């Protein structure tokens, strides 16, 4: 199971729970582009000190390629806007 959340300045703005199927990722991809309309890149946070910059256009594929093995986050450099991927069950 997968819950995807969008946070902006400590406030949750959007959430979607599902099985992690292609449709859920497609909906998240649309939201991701609207969350970062002027960005070319986002930060992919895998936990702790594991942070890397990825092109926005490839960000969702990067998330899917990790196979739901760990929770992660896509965010701006200031950590003000973020999309969190929480895997459970």
Model pTM score = 0.93
SS3 for 31? helix
26: part of which helix (H) or strand (E)? helix 22-35
Question: Any idea where the domains of the chain sit in the sequence?
Answer: 2-87
Q: How far are the Cα atoms of 2, 42, 79 from residue 21, in angstroms, in the given order?
A: 9, 23, 27
Calpha distance 41→44 (Å, rounded) = 10
Query: What are the pLDDT tens digits along the chain (89 aa)?
Result: 999 999 998 899 999 999 999 999 999 999 999 999 999 999 999 977 899 999 999 999 999 998 787 899 999 999 999 999 999 98
Q: Phi and psi for 14 in degrees, rounded to 5? A: -160, 145
Residue 8 and residue 80 in contact, taking contact as beta carbons nearer than 8 Å: yes
């Amino acid at each position: 199971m997968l819950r995807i959340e969008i946070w902006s300045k400590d406030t949750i703005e959007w959430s979607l729970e599902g099985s992690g199927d292609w449709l859920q990722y497609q909906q998240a991809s649309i939201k991701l582009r609207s969350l970062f309309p002027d960005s070319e890149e986002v930060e992919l946070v895998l936990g702790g000190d594991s942070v890397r910059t990825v092109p926005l256009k490839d960000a969702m594929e990067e998330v899917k390629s990790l196979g739901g093995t760990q929770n992660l986050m896509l965010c701006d450099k200031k950590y003000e806007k973020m999309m969190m991927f929480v895997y459970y069950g």
